[in-house]
Amino acid sequence: MESLSQNTPLPSVVRDSIIKLCREVLAPLIEADGGQMFLVSLTAEDIHVHLAGTCAGCPGSSFTADSIVGPALLKLTPKSKLRLTTGWRVPADAERMEARR
């Protein structure tokens, strides 16, 4: 079996499924509380999500990561590790996951 090296890209079908899940399910939940969701990086080893808006520094962000965002994303990529950060300063290479209207 082939081992995954650092920063191994995800297959495009998995990547597209994650982006769709973020835009159609997770972002609307976060936006309902006044937050903003950003996808910073997405590899086979690591999914980095950043929350801003009212989620910046919110003590409930760990609940959001452990009970909502993490379980949903890790169903699609069970071997990946979720890294969730919060703050007003959004990483430069992050893409906002806005709910499609």
Check residues 9 and 32 and name the one with the higher pLDDT: 32
Q: How far is Cα of residue 11 from the mean position of the Cα atoms in its chain?
A: 17
How do residues 11-56 score in pLDDT, each as one tens digit?
899 999 999 999 999 999 999 989 999 999 999 999 999 999 999 8
Cα 101 to Cα 98: distance, rounded to the nearest angstrom: 9
How do residues 53-81 score in pLDDT, each as one tens digit?
999 888 888 898 999 999 999 999 999 99
Q: What is the pLDDT of residue 83?
A: 94
| Superfamily (CATH) of domain 12-96 | Fe-S cluster assembly (FSCA) (3.30.300.130)
